[in-house]
């Protein structure tokens, strides 16, 4: 009831008008306040928001300006020197002076030069005489050794032959005693065998041994003839080789005898002769043995001794045993004698000590003395004048008037006709833009530049793998060269789609990024913000970089900012200063 009454209650007309006015005023005040707060908020925001400049990326190339200092050196540097210890009469050369071929550089004291030449010639003559005497003595020593070796071979052969003879004689005596023993034993115990049968058998054996001996002698004669044929052949060859211009042989009788001794001393010939002589000795021993056996038998038959059979048989057997022991001793003695002879022969065949180092030193000394004389004579022939070998620039003078020359370089001249070269060391980053045959410019530092020069080589440094050694050829026509210069060259890269100033590029460790402008619609209107975009650097120089990344063609890249930016920050874009 009360609610209905309130609803139906009608306000006083004046009172109602007053409330409406108040409401309107309140609303107007609220709107004014909101307006003022918005203005204040915008003003405050404008004080904190980053102000940036930006520009769109462009396509293009990256230019690289390479400058590097280096040295200029001649392609051909001539070192001039002369014989040492010669007094210098005058020095006409000065460093930095240009000379022509044949210009006088140094005048030596001719009197001192002549004195040194005579001394060097005398030393050379002494050295030559010493070398000649040594060679002659060596030849004599070699000949003496050859003859001594030949005599040693002969002594060896004779020793072996004597030892064999002793053994053969002992063996023959032993066999003779044995045959005498057996002959006596068989002739007195075998009643069925007549004296004639034994005698015939022994005579037949003598005949067989004689034939064997004759055959051995014939064999020795054949061996000697073959060796003589070899000697004749070698002499004929030597005579042919020694013929003079008139066709006459200059071979002496002494030379022929030496050839004969050398052929006879050949191991194969010595062996053949030894074998043939051994066969003769053996056959002779066998013959002697057979003849002695026959003689002993005949003597036994004629012996009228009254000794009993057993006593005579024992005597013959004891004689055999004594001779057997003598034979064994002869064999043992032969072995010892031949062993000793072998050692003597080996000692004689042993080579002489070789002193190669001394021989080389002596030969080098002789050559040095000859060169010293030749060099002094050469200077003497031009009256002690040392002249320029070619046109060039004197770069170093190491001698002074009144002093004496040394073995070191006296004067250095750069041969201008051979040209010059510029050398420098490049870092790896710069070297990758240069190649062999590229054209470059040299600033000589004296107001002169030389354009169109060619890179001769560019190679990795042997000392530092991260550096490169550059060489530029400078033709001989280029004048006013110093010792240092600066290489200058501009190299353009290939064309890239996106190139930005270096100011737009930022780094985070080994990663690079840029900020791009992005406009966004909000309840307060359109706002300008930045997005952080990671990029890869394709190439760069001191001014700009070629990049690629996730950005749109035509987007603007932030160049400068009034404060540090973060991804998504609102910014105010201003015109660049």
Residues facing 385 on adjacent strands: 107
Compute CA 423 distance to the chain's CA centroid, rounded to the nearest angstrom. 28
pLDDT at 3: 43
| CA nearest neighbour of 429 among 539, 503, 536, 547 | 539
| CA nearest neighbour of 373 among 124, 132, 111 | 124
Asked if 81 and 410 touch (Cβ cutoff 8 Å), the reply is: yes
Asked if 415 and 78 touch (Cβ cutoff 8 Å), the reply is: yes
Asked if 527 and 49 touch (Cβ cutoff 8 Å), the reply is: no
Q: What is the pLDDT of residues 356-394, one digit of tens each?
A: 777 778 788 889 889 989 999 999 999 989 998 888 888
Q: Is the dihedral of CA 543, 547, 551, 554 positive or negative?
A: positive
pLDDT at 528: 87
Find tokens 């932030």 and name the residue.
558
| CA nearest neighbour of 269 among 220, 235, 236, 337 | 220
Q: What percent of the chain has pLDDT over 70?
A: 89
The chain-wide mean pLDDT, for the chain, equals 81
**Eight-state DSSP code of residue 76:** S
Asked if 79 and 494 touch (Cβ cutoff 8 Å), the reply is: no
- Under the banding of pLDDT at 50, 70 and 90, the label for residue 329 is confident
The tokens describing 282, both together, are 């053996």
- In this prediction, residues 229-250 reach a mean pLDDT of 84
Q: What is the pLDDT of residues 65-95, one digit of tens each?
A: 888 899 887 878 888 888 889 999 999 989 8
The tokens describing 396, both together, are 């170093």
**Eight-state DSSP code of residue 383:** T
- In this prediction, residues 106-131 reach a mean pLDDT of 90
pLDDT at 42: 56
| CA nearest neighbour of 316 among 171, 169, 198, 185 | 185
- Under the banding of pLDDT at 50, 70 and 90, the label for residue 191 is very low
pLDDT at 257: 84
| CA nearest neighbour of 92 among 517, 552, 447, 413 | 413
Altogether, the residues listed in the chain come to a count of 577
- Under the banding of pLDDT at 50, 70 and 90, the label for residue 107 is very high
| CA nearest neighbour of 378 among 28, 92, 54, 86 | 86
C-alpha span between 328 and 362 (Å, rounded): 58
Contacts of 144 (CB under 8 A, 6+ apart): none
Residues facing 454 on adjacent strands: 439, 473
pLDDT at 312: 76
Does the structure show a pLDDT above 50 at 143?
A: yes
C-alpha span between 429 and 458 (Å, rounded): 13
pLDDT at 16: 55
User: Within 13 Å, how many C-alpha atoms sit on residue 378's CB side?
Assistant: 11
- In this prediction, residues 104-133 reach a mean pLDDT of 90
- Which tops the pLDDT comparison, 6 or 253? 253
DSSP string over 207-220? HHHHHHHHHHHHHH
What are the distances in angstroms from CA 250 to CA 161, 234, 238, 253, 255?
38, 15, 9, 10, 10
Task: Give the dihedral of Cα atoms 72, 73, 75, 78; nearest 10 deg.
Answer: 160
Q: What is the 3-state secondary structure (H, E, C) of 410-427?
A: CEEEEEHHHCEEEEEEEE
Find tokens 């070698």 and name the residue.
234
C-alpha span between 283 and 272 (Å, rounded): 17
- Under the banding of pLDDT at 50, 70 and 90, the label for residue 7 is very low
């Amino acid at each position: 009831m009360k609610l209905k009454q309130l609803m139906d209650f009608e306000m006083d007309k004046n009172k109602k008008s007053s409330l409406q006015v108040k409401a309107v005023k309140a609303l107007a005040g609220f709107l004014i306040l909101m307006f003022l707060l918005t203005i204040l908020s915008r003003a405050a925001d404008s004080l904190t928001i980053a102000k940036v400049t930006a520009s769109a990326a462009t396509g293009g190339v990256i230019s690289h300006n390479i400058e590097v200092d280096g040295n200029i050196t001649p392609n051909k540097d001539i070192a001039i020197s002369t014989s040492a210890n010669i007094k210098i009469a005058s020095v006409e050369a000065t460093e930095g002076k240009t000379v022509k071929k044949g210009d006088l550089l140094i005048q030596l004291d001719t009197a001192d030069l002549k004195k040194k030449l005579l001394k060097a010639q005398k030393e050379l003559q002494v050295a030559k005489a010493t070398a000649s005497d040594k060679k002659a003595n060596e030849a004599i020593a070699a000949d003496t050794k050859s003859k001594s070796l030949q005599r040693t071979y002969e002594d060896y052969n004779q020793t072996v032959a004597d030892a064999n003879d002793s053994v053969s004689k002992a063996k023959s005596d032993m066999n003779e005693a044995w045959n005498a023993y057996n002959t006596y034993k068989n002739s007195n115990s075998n009643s069925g065998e007549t004296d004639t049968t034994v005698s015939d058998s022994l005579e037949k054996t003598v005949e067989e041994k004689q034939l064997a001996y004759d055959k051995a002698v014939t064999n020795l004669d054949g061996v000697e003839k073959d060796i003589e044929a070899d000697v004749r052949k070698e002499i004929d060859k030597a005579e042919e080789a020694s013929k003079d211009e008139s066709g006459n042989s200059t071979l002496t009788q002494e030379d022929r005898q030496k050839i004969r001794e050398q052929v006879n001393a050949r191991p194969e010939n010595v062996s053949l002769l030894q074998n043939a002589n051994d066969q003769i000795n053996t056959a002779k021993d066998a013959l002697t043995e057979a003849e002695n056996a026959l003689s002993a038998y005949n003597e036994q038959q004629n012996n009228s001794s009254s000794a009993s059979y057993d006593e005579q048989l024992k005597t013959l057997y004891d004689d055999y045993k004594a001779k057997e022991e003598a034979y064994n001793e002869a064999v043992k003695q032969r072995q010892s004698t031949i062993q000793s002879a072998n050692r003597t022969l080996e000692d004689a065949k042993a080579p002489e000590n070789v002193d190669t180092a001394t021989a080389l030193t002596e030969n080098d000394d002789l050559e040095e003395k000859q060169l010293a004389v030749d060099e002094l004579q050469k200077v003497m022939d031009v009256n002690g004048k040392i002249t320029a070998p070619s046109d060039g620039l004197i770069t170093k003078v190491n001698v002074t008037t009144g002093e004496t020359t040394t073995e070191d370089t006296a004067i250095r001249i750069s041969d201008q006709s051979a040209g010059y070269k510029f050398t420098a060391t490049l870092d790896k980053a710069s070297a990758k833009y240069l190649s062999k045959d590229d054209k470059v410019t040299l600033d000589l530092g004296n107001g002169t530049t030389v354009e169109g020069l060619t890179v001769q080589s560019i190679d990795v440094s042997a000392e530092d793998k991260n550096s490169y050694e550059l060489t530029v050829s400078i033709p001989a026509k280029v004048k006013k060269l110093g010792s240092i210069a600066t290489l200058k060259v501009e190299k353009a890269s290939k064309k890239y789609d996106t190139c930005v100033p270096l100011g737009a590029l930022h780094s985070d460790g080994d990663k690079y990024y840029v900020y791009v402008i992005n406009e966004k619609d909000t309840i307060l209107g359109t706002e300008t913000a930045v997005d952080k975009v990671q990029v890869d650097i394709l190439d760069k120089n001191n001014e700009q970089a070629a990049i690629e990344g996730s950005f749109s063609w035509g987007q603007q890249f932030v160049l400068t900012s009034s404060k540090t930016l973060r991804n998504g920050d609102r910014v105010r874009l201003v015109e660049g200063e």
